[in-house]
Chains A and B, each alone.
Chain A
Amino acid sequence: MKSLSEIDTVSKRASRASGFEWGIAEEVGKNMRILEMLGISGIKNLNHYYKIRSKKNFEKIKLITKENQRSQLEYCPITAGVNFLDQVRSLENLNEIKFQNLAYPILFLPFIGRASEVLGKKILLKIDNRKFLLNYNTSIYTNNLDDGIITIGNNVVITFLDNKDSFEENEWRELYKLSENTFVEENESLKQSGAGAGLTDND
């Protein structure tokens, strides 16, 4: 089994050898470490992409907008990912970003995960019929784990999710009420002496 350190180093060097700048190669190394740690096929996709990339041109998008469409060329997932990560603070206001024809979208995935960490918000990534929920770069929840190599995402949609509870208020109240059973009912004496601080809350 390859260590994550080897995965990072080899991916970084291979990215440089494929023509990416060192700073971008560093990003890819870090991303492959994330994907492989989470059990997603990073190396498989990267290797396939770099083989294809030597024979085929890809669109290197710079400025990302709400709708990103190119009919002739597929988008390079690494350039798109780096720029998405760099620009994510301004992209957040757009709520939803769409890409058509994003090549090897699995390679795009960790950039979105890291963007989720930068914003402190969950992000939902849909790649055609596959869904990935990115949680602050700590985990990925998905309905597709075993797809191996995905060469194209025809319709890729990134949605910034508002930070909100996943439960109803009454569910919270019920749970809170149950938690109250760990509290001690205070008599007068405890009210006077239990807090340890002054007798007014605002002193």
Chain B
Amino acid sequence: MKVELRDPKIVMKLSKLGSFHQSKLSFLRSFLKEFKDWNYKRDLFELNELGFGIAVYSFKKSNRVYSLICFANQLNENERSDRVIATKWDAAFTLYDGVPTKHDIERLRNEVPKQEVGRLSYKELTLSRANKSVRVFNHVVDSLSKGKQPDISLLSSVGYLYRTTAVYGSGKFGLADRFRIKDREEICGPFRLEMMLVYLVRQFTFDQVNHVAKNKNPKKAVSLDLEICKSLGIGNSTGLGMAPFIVNHPTLLNNWVLARETVLKKIREIQNVEKKDGDLFTKYLKKSIKNITSWNTDSIYQQNKIKFLLKDVNNFIIFLEKNFNFSSEFAFNKIYLWLEKNSGDECIEYIVSMMMEPYDQIVNPLINKMSSEEDKYFNIPTNRTVLELKDIIENKYKEILKIDFTKNENNQNFWFISKNKEEPRLADRFEEKGSDLEQPLAIARDIKKLYEALSVAKNSSKIDKFLLNNNHLRHVVRRAFIVEKFPYSEIQDNTISKSIIPIDMLRLKLSFFGALKFDPRSDKWLRICMFQGAPLPENLKNYDEGWVYNSLN
């Protein structure tokens, strides 16, 4: 039986993309797999009794070394902020390409804590900063220094000791450009070195909390239980900075979603599901329930999504147990069709992720296809005709063409870059100033304008002639030709409408990172948790692939 890939017009709706969950394709899981046989080492740990100072951690294999350099700083209570406007953080980090010399560390000590206003070099690969969850960190220090383990329920409700507020790479602030590392044999996909930084930062947070507790009460202090460490991740606060990324990298977005859709299609096409695979799917599904029940958020929007997710997953489990037999033909296809009929998007996408768990042989080859050589598709094929471009738009943007942009609600917002932080922002066009400096992120509106311009042009005219008088639409002409080749490269929604929920765009990206427990703090930023339940670096050589579902929380 041949199953078609799901229709991009459905998959690429923001409400659908905003329901994606982590999976075996997620970058942090791929990172652990790809670096599991690297040698991990804590090379330097020079913190004072309060936990301030410098630490260096490394991963090494053959002649290649990646070193995380950590700078832990004293911060006044009133200086701590997760907002992007912050200028100081509890700790700042960079991933260095190789083994840093003392001179490098001195140079970086002056630059890394400054983050966006510091200057990095091509020897630094990624950059980040993080703030303590003060309540949790202090509680853990207090408990350990008294010789006891901390309150699991408190830890469980937060999930981490520190949260990062940005992770930068790919040439930002002078960091190494992607071209310098993309062809290295160990770099098998996107964001691997960002994942490495976050993973090593997690270990730093455990070492720091143990160190502070020990110094507080050297005679009585105990170390944080390793199982508790494993159940903690690293938090992350993410704002709108991430949203334009998925618009600005269409072929990359396509390759992520296409990998996911291809895996789903292949799993649905399995005629006879082996018993062990059905059992593994069911086992992980049941274990994963605690990832839903421990998913805390104050966001009513997300609370509702979680409520329906839990209800739908429980209904699905009842269906599995009472009415389903994995020995029937095309079992996963039947499951998928049942879900489409009986569940919401949150649950459908949750189960799609779970379906991947037994199928390394399907997932692994696709993991290596999730990068993109974007420059290859940059030139506009100007020898194509107006008619061909019109056909592409009619075919690929059918729903977009129905939007009436003369209505204010469809043209409500505009994307801009803030002068203060050089970060993307979204504002109401009719309330705020600045729409004359709008960024080219209103793709739906501009595609419709392009279509209208094409409709009055001669069909046989070549695109080079069309552009002579229509270069204001050049950015979307380029996109339409990209979308022709890459079906999942475009969000099939209006990113400037009144009803847009920008965090859906963040969630899409974060799900591919492997984030858990999306916690929207508004419609424009959210908190997440990464690596919760993941093996510790010392145990990486031999770890359980199902760690995502083994957390204590």
Contact residues of A with B, CB < 8 Å? 1-6, 13, 21-24, 26-27, 30, 62-63, 82-83, 85-87, 89-90, 114, 117-118
Contact = CB atoms under 8 A, between A and B. Distances in A.
Contacts of B477: 23
A30 B468 contact: no
A83 B468 contact: yes
Given A5-B177, A6-B171, A63-B468, A23 B478 contact: yes
Contacts of A5: 170-172, 177-178
Contacts of B178: 5
B287 to A, nearest CB: 41
Given A5-B170, A83-B468, A89-B383, A21 B175 contact: no
A113 to B, nearest CB: 12
Contact of B464 (A6, A26, A86): A86
Contacts of B173: 6
Given A21-B471, A22-B440, A24-B471, A4 B179 contact: yes
Contacts of B476: 23
A114 B379 contact: yes
Interface residues of B, number: 32
A1 B121 contact: yes
B473 interface: yes
Interface in B467-497: 467-468, 471-478
B380 interface: yes
A176 B95 CA distance: 50
Q: Which 6 pairs from chain A and chain B are nearest by CB?
A: A23-B474, A5-B171, A3-B171, A23-B475, A22-B440, A86-B464
Given A3-B176, A5-B170, A26-B478, 17 more contacts: A3-B175, A4-B171, A5-B178, A6-B174, A13-B417, A21-B471, A21-B474, A22-B440, A22-B474, A23-B472, A23-B473, A23-B475, A23-B478, A26-B475, A62-B468, A86-B464, A89-B383
Contacts of B473: 23
Contacts of A21: 471-472, 474-475
A176 B514 CA distance: 55
Contacts of A87: 382, 464
Contact of A24 (B174, B179, B375, B474): B474
Nearest to B120: A3
B525 interface: no
A5 B476 CA distance: 22
B379 A118 contact: yes
A62 B440 CA distance: 23
B547 interface: no
B220 to A, nearest CB: 49
Contacts of B375: 30
B543 interface: no
Contacts of B170: 5
Contacts of B121: 1
Contacts of A1: 121-122, 174
Given A1-B121, A23-B474, A23-B475, A90 B172 contact: no
Contacts of B338: none
Interface in B176-201: 176-179
A75 to B, nearest CB: 16
A22 B175 CA distance: 26
A4 B173 CA distance: 11
A3 B122 contact: yes
B301 interface: no
A51 B360 CA distance: 57
Nearest to B468: A62
A128 B463 CA distance: 32
B122 to A, nearest CB: 7
Nearest to A30: B378
A131 B59 CA distance: 48
B421 to A, nearest CB: 14
Nearest to B476: A23
B475 A22 contact: yes
Of the listed residues B175, B383, B464, the one surrounded by the most CB atoms of chain A closer than 10 A to its CB is B464
A63 B468 CA distance: 8
A192 B171 CA distance: 58
A13 B437 CA distance: 10
A22 B438 CA distance: 10
A85 B476 CA distance: 17
Given A30-B375, A83-B468, A86-B382, A3 B478 contact: no
B271 to A, nearest CB: 36
A11 to B, nearest CB: 13
Interface string B372-391: 00010011101100000000
A154 B276 CA distance: 76
Given A4-B171, A5-B170, A82 B478 contact: no
Given A23-B478, A82-B471, A3 B174 contact: yes
